[in-house]
Amino acid sequence: MPKDPRIKKVLVIGSGPIIIGQAAEFDYSGTQACRALKSEGVETVLVNSNPATIMTDPDIADHVYIEPLTAEVIERIIEKEKPDAILPNLGGQMGLNLSMELARNGFLDRSGVRLLACKPDTIDRAEDRQLFKDTMEKLHQPIIPSKVVEDLDDALDFAEVIGYPVIVRPAFTMGGTGGGICEDREKLHEIATNGLRLSPIHQILVEKCISGWKEIEYEVMRDSKGNVITVCNMENLDPVGIHTGDSIVVAPSQTLSDKEYQMLRTAALDIITELGIEGGCNCQFALKPDSFEYAVIEVNPRVSRSSALASKATGYPIAKVATKIALGYTLDEITNDVTGETCACFEPALDYVVVKYPKWPFDKFVYADKSLGTQMMATGEVMAIGNNFEHAMMKAVSSTELGLDTMTLPDFEKLTTEEVIEHLHVQDSERAFCVYEALKRGVAHDVIYDITKIDWWFLDKLQHLADIEMGLKNGELTTEKYLNAKRFGFLDKTIKRLAGVDTLPEAPKAAFKMVDTCAAEFAAKTPYFYSTYDEDNEAKPFIAERSDPDKKKVLVFGSGPIRIGQGIEFDYCSVHAVWTLKQHGCEAILVNNNPETVSTDFDTGDRLYFDPLNPESVDHIIETEKPDGCLVQFGGQTAIKLAKHMDDIGLPILGTPADAIDEAEDRERFDELLERCGIPRPEGRTVFTLDEALQAAQEVGYPVLMRPSYVLGGQNMIVAYNSADVIEYMGVITKHVDMSHPVLMDKYILGTECEVDAICDGTDYLVPGIMQQVERTGVHSGDSICVYPPYTFSQKVIDTLVDYTGRFARELKVVGLVNVQYAVQNDRVYVIEVNPRSSRTVPYISKVTGVPMVDLAVRCTLGEKLKDMGYGTGLWRNGKSPYYAVKVPVYSFLKLHGVDTMLGPEMKSTGEVLGIAPSFHEAMMKGLVAAGYQFKTPGPGSCVIISVKDSDKAEAAELAWKLHDYGYKIYGTPGTAKFLNSEMVPCSVVRQMSGARPNVIDLLESGLVDYIISTSPHGRDPHRDSVKFRRKATELSIPTITAMDTARVLVDALRGDHDISQMELVNIANLHREAAKGE
């Protein structure tokens, strides 16, 4: 059936800010969908609140709205743009829930807008726990004994019937939000209460816990004619009980017999057929290891995290095919882009093994609870491809950026064998390393299997890696031993370290294999490769045949896995860099290892190498490709770390030289640079030991800002107020960080922080915009509410900021992008740091000013001059803008247990949203609404709890008075209440958590608390009362404000007009068109 002629204009709903459980995979699927719609001549309208994505780029859709994702906003956009249809299944749970709301309230019918690809009853039957259960029973598909309940008593009664442990799964949530495993009645009481509150339809499923069974997933596709195929099946190394997003996943499955594989495949195809899904669908099964008994765990009637992995693992573009099916095509009418001759109804066949390894944020949150369960905690993931499981696993471990090159974790080496066996009982993010340590110690496989239920096949493969590692340590290094280690993924530097040698036998060359979806049955056209150690290099003939010798070849390094501090923004920069290189007659070759991103889509660059971003892997790619140069400034810290190596091997770095990067990072050289430029900075020292740190703190004077050099996202950064803080910090840091670089200590300046991004061509510079942060210095810039253009700076400060930025750019010989962070105190400007690379604010400033920053920066690196590009030099439009744009951070504290929610110099937000409007107040309101802040009107008994440190009490009194005036009853912990009452603000005392009941916990659980303002001089340690109090509030979803500036903004918003229904909807595609014309 050809394309439906009625579809001329389609609305695509994005997935909102990046949070744990909903990351960049929806940017990838949404971008692919928009491109597929455009290629069919369909006009596209995109709405998403996340400014960091490629999806919200005016190059991707015809009309782009970065607006809050609420049903009300979507209705207004539909009324304005009048699309024929909505594509709901590519924007994650957010897009699906919003589309369902509009379908249910009759708005879509009244407006004559169709839902493409899925009908409301299809979604309900997959997402509503009771309807799903009924559907499975109708199909005679086995499910786990369970009951759907809508109140706590029913949940507790049913658990007594089936027996503990039980699993709680809330309806219509994502990433396991609100769910968990309950071993007893008390735990069920807590989790079920929470789950019912977090489910939008107040419904949870209580099911028998079958942890220990194998978890298997099938990614399937169906069209309107009923053709169905399996794109990929995947197996979790971890058994049921650990969320699939936190599991090591292997594709295709390795431990299933043919009978088991076919049995589950048939079940998946029957389910998608019965549900009538058109497009992609993900089915999860539990399989009992010792029989053919299985159960359906759940079905996602949309493109999911696993779809992105399946797409990259097979080369089959699931989101693109799903979009074409939504337009009315059938599988046999869609061509497979990879082979160019088969159609999309061919099932992919793999002749390699893929391993996905999660990236957790626990290296940032040293006090967090690392244990894993049914709620997802990983912020991102890496994928590795090898021609055996061992090689893929070794690549994956070296890609996670934990500083590991084998599965040996130093902490486990210190334990006795008994302690290692005991630790196997702990299900946490380090479990695979613990299993590996046990195998190295010769612990019997049946002992490990009985504890972990990790399949014998995986234990056998990990044993093989352990044997190779132990073999390298013992006896001399023969050529045979060396070649064997290479074939199973050991790096040269690892082999040297283990064998204790300086020279190696003759190094074999890595060969590259192609990902072709058909196990080499047809000649593939895709330029998508992974490295192996065998004879046949498939990339060489491909390059010889397809590469244009007259074009300049440029290697672009991606940014690796998404983690806090280095998110999707750098993927935006990498992709734009590649597009610009291609437009300007270069061949762009991408290297990255993250399966969720647009950069690893096989048609983004001219060629894609899916391999680790370490010096050895990159050397092999350079050996095969022989590029003319490389770009490191767009891939965040991951790519910057490769700059020195590129310099050492003599590959030209386009743009800013490696030495300038070192000059900005190296403390002493940076001080000299400031001297030359005549720019003030806070007084500081560099230290290596605790004694040096304590002495430096005395000399500089408390409070001091402490951080390691060469980090991104303020990792392991704190403000120390006394010697006890310094001692605690140095203890943590020496354990977690490579101490070959010093710790930096600076005098902490209390002022307004701001950030400037600039583009430089070596002589001239262009500053698209200055961003002012609402929170004062001491809160990481990534966690601050950020405003463009600045709203309180004098012209003198703005001129100084532009002047200093220009001085830096020229002195560092920046060619490309530079980001400078400043602190402003009493109209004096101090520099905090300079980064000669792209920063996380580049996508946001590019979108709100219309200046395509990455494109201009790449053209500078290719030798063009800014004055010839049409955007001028100096401060863009003299800093004038028709709109205010407010960026508000979004956190995932609900998923991370034991992490203090108080903001500080270490970044904690996982994503961000944008509010854009003609006035500051309106933009702020939109930003707060988009970030999920609720503006409540005080009812009878409604209250606010205030508990702040001494230095914040005077400000707290002013805010407390405003809240009291607005109608709230104020409660305070003893110290705060005493101060507020002395300032004539009526405040009732509430006892701390450690005090006698009733105390603050009872008040939190009463449901009367609307907001909390909480700051304390110490954070981090989960045993402190203040940290426990903030954690409890987070678990009850009570908005907790931990910075006084944020509190002021919120209180002013509450008392002002906070109805956003009349505010202008801004189509940013128009801003870009105007900027490009020079208007």
Question: Is-contact 302 111, C-beta < 8 A?
Answer: no
Q: Is 641 in the same domain as 668?
A: no
pLDDT digits (tens, 9 = 90+) for 837-859: 999 999 999 999 999 999 999 99
> What is the biggest distance separating any 2 CA atoms in the chain, rounded to whole angstroms?
83
Assigned token pair, 169: 């799964």
Task: Give the Cα separation of 488 and 187 in Å (integer).
Answer: 44
List C-alpha distances in Å: 220 to 138, 333, 584, 853.
20, 17, 39, 39
The answer to whether 778 is a known ligand-binding residue is yes
- Tokens found for residue 520: 């080499």
CA distance 642 to 654: 13
Domain finish residue from 656, 686, 716: 656
300 is in an annotated binding site: yes
The answer to whether 148 and 195 are in contact (CB under 8 A) is no
Question: Where do we find the tokens 């110099």?
Answer: 905
Amino acid 126: pLDDT = 84
Question: Residue 923 and residue 916: Cα distance in Å, rounded?
Answer: 5
Is residue 879 annotated as involved in ligand binding? no
Q: Choose among 356, 384, 310, 381: nearest CA to 609.
A: 384
In a domain, 182, yes or no: yes
594 assigned to a ligand binding site = no
- Beta carbons within 8 Å of 448's beta carbon, 6+ residues apart: 424, 435, 438, 439, 454, 459
Verify that 158 and 109 share a domain, yes or no: no
| Residues 538, 520 contacting (CB under 8 angstroms) | no
- Round to whole Å and give the CA distance between 674 and 1004: 50
Domain co-membership, 677 together with 597 = no
Would you state the pLDDT for residue 525? 72
Residues whose CB falls within 8 Å of the CB of residue 190, separated by 6 or more in sequence, listed in order: none
Q: How far apart are CA 582 and CA 605, in angstroms?
A: 8
Is 129 annotated as belonging to a binding site? yes
- Give residue 52's domain range: 9-119
Write the single-letter amino acid at 838.
Answer: S
Low-confidence ranges of the chain (pLDDT < 70): 1-2, 174-175, 519-523, 710-716, 736-740, 1018-1021, 1079
242 appears as a binding residue in the annotation: yes
Task: Assess whether 574 and 629 both reside in one domain.
Answer: yes
To the question of whether residue 781 is assigned a binding role by annotation, the answer is yes
Cβ-Cβ contacts under 8 Å for 530 (sequence gap 6 or more): 352, 384, 385, 386, 512, 513, 515, 609, 610, 611
On whether both 876 and 961 belong to a single domain, the answer is no
Residue 474 marked as a ligand binder: no
Whether residues 69 and 153 share a domain: the answer is no
Q: Is position 185 within any domain?
A: yes
Same domain, 776 and 853: yes
Beta strands in 962-1032 (DSSP E): 969-972, 988-989, 1009-1014
Helices in 701-746 by DSSP H: which ranges? Answer: 723-736
Give pLDDT, residue 915: 96
| Domain-embedded: residue 944 | yes
pLDDT score at 531: 96
Is 833 marked as binding a ligand?
yes
- Which residue in 58, 57, 94, 54 sits closest to 73, CA to CA? 94
Quote the DSSP letter at residue 741: S
**Residue 780 marked in a binding site:** yes
Helix axes 615-625, 539-546, angle to 10 degrees: 50
Q: What distance in Å separates the CA atoms of residue 737 and residue 268, rounded to the nearest whole number?
A: 46
One domain, residues 647 and 736: no
State residue 715's pLDDT score: 61
- CATH number of the domain residue 196 falls in: 3.30.1490.20
DSSP-derived letter for residue 1067 is B
Determine how β-strand 884-890 pairs with β-strand 815-825: unpaired
Determine whether the annotation assigns residue 698 to a binding site. no
Residue with tokens 């005016």: 58
601 lies in a domain? yes
pLDDT for 828: 92
The answer to whether 22 is annotated as binding is no
DSSP class of residue 343 equals B
- pLDDT value at residue 459: 98
Confirm whether 961 is domain-assigned.
Answer: yes
Q: CB count, 10 Å around CB of 226?
A: 11
| 189 assigned to a ligand binding site | no
Residue 965's CB is within 10 A of a number of other CB atoms, namely 10
Q: Is 733 annotated as a binding residue?
A: no
Assess whether 733 and 615 both reside in one domain.
no
Q: Which of 119, 135, 169 is the last residue of a domain?
A: 119
3-state secondary structure of 789: coil
- Tell me which residue of 863, 865, 401, 492 sits closest to 652, measured CA to CA: 863
Is 440 marked as binding a ligand? no
Nearest to 717 by CA among 744, 681, 686: 744
Does residue 793 form part of some domain?
yes
CATH code where residue 707 lies: 3.30.470.20
Residue 464 counted as an annotated binding residue: no
**Does some domain include residue 244?**
no
Strand ranges of the sheet holding 85-87, from the earlier edge strand across to the other edge: 63-65, 43-47, 9-13, 85-87, 114-115
HEC assignment per residue over 250-265: EECCCCCCHHHHHHHH
In terms of pTM, does the model score above 0.85? yes
Ordered DSSP codes for 1-63: ----TT--EEEEE---S-BTTB-THHHHHHHHHHHHHHHTT-EEEEE-S-TTSSTTSTTT-SE
Does a structural domain hold residue 412?
Answer: yes
- 761 and 639 in one domain? no
Tell me the helix, strand and coil percentages in the chain, rounded to 5. 40, 20, 40
Q: Is 64 annotated as a binding residue?
A: no
Asked if residue 212 belongs to a known ligand binding site, the reply is no
Which CATH number goes with the domain that contains 436? Answer: 1.10.1030.10
Judge if the upstream peptide bond of residue 252 is cis by omega within 30 degrees of 0.
Answer: yes
DSSP per residue over 535-597, as a string?
S--SHHHHHHHH--TTSEEEEEE---S-BTTB-THHHHHHHHHHHHHHHTTEEEEEEE--TTS
Q: Residue 241 annotated as binding?
A: yes
- For 975-988, the pLDDT digits (tens) are 999 999 999 999 99
Same domain? For 940 and 1030 the reply is yes
- Structural domain count of the chain: 6
Answer yes or no: is 715 a known binding residue: no
Q: Are residue 69 and residue 154 in the same domain, yes or no?
A: no
